[in-house]
Amino acid sequence: MAYRLETGRPAPPAAARAFAERARAAGADLRVGEEAVLATRAGRATGVTVAGELQPAGAVAIAAGPWTPAAISAPLPVTPLWGVVVALELDAPPTHVIEEPAWRS
């Protein structure tokens, strides 16, 4: 996994890949690019419906970022933050790293 030099936090693409690999290794069934509708009973998630078929689950993870409230039709205190993420594959390690906001308030 790649880490940011100044914070020690993982870079978003590397973190997403690592989380997906760990989840698959633990038995998770990841569906990327498929529409899923949250199935609930008594206010608790019981699984998801994909292509009209209920997929029961003991736990459901929703990784929709700022779109999570809309994805589950529930008000949550999640708000978007503007930003740009670029992932590059280089032939050699970079000699300089520049990371700063594109705007300042």
pTM of the entire predicted model: 0.52
Segment-wise mean pLDDT, segments of 10 residues, the chain, 105 residues: 58 78 89 84 89 90 79 76 72 74 50
For tokens 């292509």, the residue is: 51
Phi-psi region of 78 (alpha: psi -120 to 50; beta: other; left: phi over 0): beta
Alpha-carbon distance of 64 to 50, in angstroms, equals: 16
